[in-house]
Amino acid sequence: MDDADATPFDRLRAVLADRSAVVGVIGLGYVGLPLAVAAARRGLSTIGFDIDPAKEARIKAGRSYIDAVASDELAALVKAGQLTATTAYDRLAECDVIVICVPTPLSRHRDPDLSYIETTGREIARRLRPGQLVVLESTTYPGTTREVLKPILESSGLVCGRDVFVGFSPEREDPGNAAFDTASIPKVVAGDGPQASELVQAFYGAVVQQVVPVSSPDVAEAVKITENVFRAVNIALVNELKLIYGAMGIDVWEVIEAAKTKPFGYMPFYPGPGLGGHCIPIDPFYLTWRSREFEVPTRFIELAGEINTAMPNHVVDVLARALDERLRLAVSASRVLVVGLAYKKNVEDVRESPSFKLMSLLEARGAKVAFHDPHVPEAPVTREHPEFAGRRSVALSAETLKDFDAVLIATDHDAVDYRLLAEAPLVVDTRNAMARHGVQGEHIIKA
């Protein structure tokens, strides 16, 4: 076929096949930067886009800002010309494949906030040209790619499925997981129509080890929601069991450790101080919101959300009772050190971390609160708790502990000295960290 006679589909399929395609990744956070590195690693010329000039500068300097990407590899890819970063969205016209990895938070009323997707879609539409594939990776409710993103792209005058192509592939990043990375996690993919499906499979097949095609973007969107609803519901279950067994004087962590020896029919989940991260606290509400349009109740999911959302209040209540009973001290007169600002162990990611809620609840009761986190030297700006921005992690030492009446373990980082924490007058442990490190004491309370 003569190049002049080639369709946009034919041209795009050809550049994907010979790996001459240029890839653009919009949003260089915990999802976008690892994906950009994975694409560049496989020989695809990759441009990262972000509105933050600091990220552009750090990438061009070969300095990573997330744990999942090593600075030495980033620097090597940048030096080789395989990867660059920019804030100039006009460069989208250079890209054959554009992947959207922007946030999808909740509004204050727990409705989906698609403003980042919509704004990004409009930026793409202004520069869209025939022969481009646009893939959404941001977690959202089923129907978003087809009903929200596709019409925005077609506002350019180009037709999806003929001139340009659209698909969805849910991100599956797990910060801190050393066993899997972007390339080794199976990738669910879907295109809007058969040609888009072929193209999205060809693109991700060039980047990751295993591609799992499904029939439509709606199904792919539902896959991601299902994965995170599954976790949210099961975490809510063990959180509720923690309350029930606690009232009976039974240690829920001991129960779980024994139960997981069963080689079939059981999967361990663990209680905690509340849900954190970019997915599990948010995604179930996307599904409950969407289900209202179809007049289908989501009682089970909503109940799980209520249980998990209530956990920080429970933890603070346990701490307040322990202060009163063991130290004869009111919360309002106490000094509390929260250990762990990140939402999970051994990462620097603070998105939706329950530690912020714990600190806010304690300060609302009059306590003086500080935090220690070996991975988070300074609290960043967050949408829900901007009052903590700039607060710095305090050093952990025997001398430091003398300044506090209680330690509240919110995140069980491996780098924390738990035997040192035992020197505090009171320790409230939401992660069973003290027991797992062999530290016991009457002043250690599980919550």
Per-residue pLDDT tens digits for 144-189: 999 999 999 999 999 999 999 999 999 998 888 888 999 999 999 9
If you write DSSP's letter for every residue of 129-198 in order, what string do you get? -TT-EEEE-S---TTHIIIIIHHHHHTTS--BTTTBEEEE------TT-TT--TTTS-EEEEESSHHHHH
Q: Contact, 31 vs 69, CB < 8 A?
A: no
The rounded distance, in Å, linking the Cα atoms of 212 and 216 is 12
Quick one: average pLDDT of 331-356?
A: 95
Q: What are φ and ψ of residue 136, in 5° steps?
A: -95, 130
| pLDDT tier, 2 (very low <50, low <70, confident <90, very high otherwise) | low
Say what the pLDDT of residue 282 is: 84
Confidence tier at 3 by pLDDT (50, 70, 90): low
Tell me, yes or no, if the pTM score tops 0.85: yes
pLDDT of residue 109 exceeding 90, the answer is no
3-class DSSP assignment, residue 370:
strand
H or E element that contains 356: helix 354-364
Lowest-pLDDT range of 6-15, 102-111, 235-244: 102-111
Please state, in angstroms and rounded to a whole number, the distance separating the CA atoms of residues 286 and 214: 21
pLDDT at 174: 85
Which amino acids are annotated catalytic?
279
Torsion angle of the four alpha carbons 328, 333, 335, 340, in this order, in degrees rounded to the nearest 10: 90
Please give the Cα distance from 286 to 289 (Å, whole number). Answer: 5
How do residues 58-99 score in pLDDT, each as one tens digit?
999 999 999 889 999 999 999 999 999 999 999 999 999 999
φ, ψ for residue 275, nearest 5 deg: -90, 145
Amino acid at 28: L
For residue 11, report the phi and psi dihedrals to the nearest 5 degrees: -65, -40
Q: Which residues pair with 106 in a beta bridge?
A: 112
* Per-chain mean pLDDT for the chain: 95
* Four-CA torsion 374, 377, 383, 389, nearest 10 degrees: 140
Write down the pLDDT at residue 1: 46
Cβ atoms of 314 and 410 closer than 8 Å: no
Q: Helical H runs in 206-282?
A: 217-247, 252-259
Is pLDDT of 393 > 90?
yes
Q: What's the pLDDT score for residue 277?
A: 80
User: How confident is the model over 234-247, as a mean pLDDT?
Assistant: 96
Give the pLDDT band of residue 316 (cuts 50, 70, 90): very high
* Beta pairing, strands 187-191 & 165-168: antiparallel
pLDDT band with cut points at 50, 70 and 90 for residue 110: confident
DSSP lists the bridge partners of residue 335 as 368
% of the chain at pLDDT higher than 70: 99
Q: How many residues does the chain have?
A: 447
pLDDT tens digits, 118-134: 999 999 999 999 999 99
pLDDT recorded at residue 276: 87
**Is-contact 204 228, C-beta < 8 A?**
no
Domains plus CATH for the chain?
Answer: 3-215 (3.40.50.720), 231-446 (3.40.50.720)
Tell me: the pLDDT tens digits for 275-302?
888 777 888 888 999 999 899 999 999 9
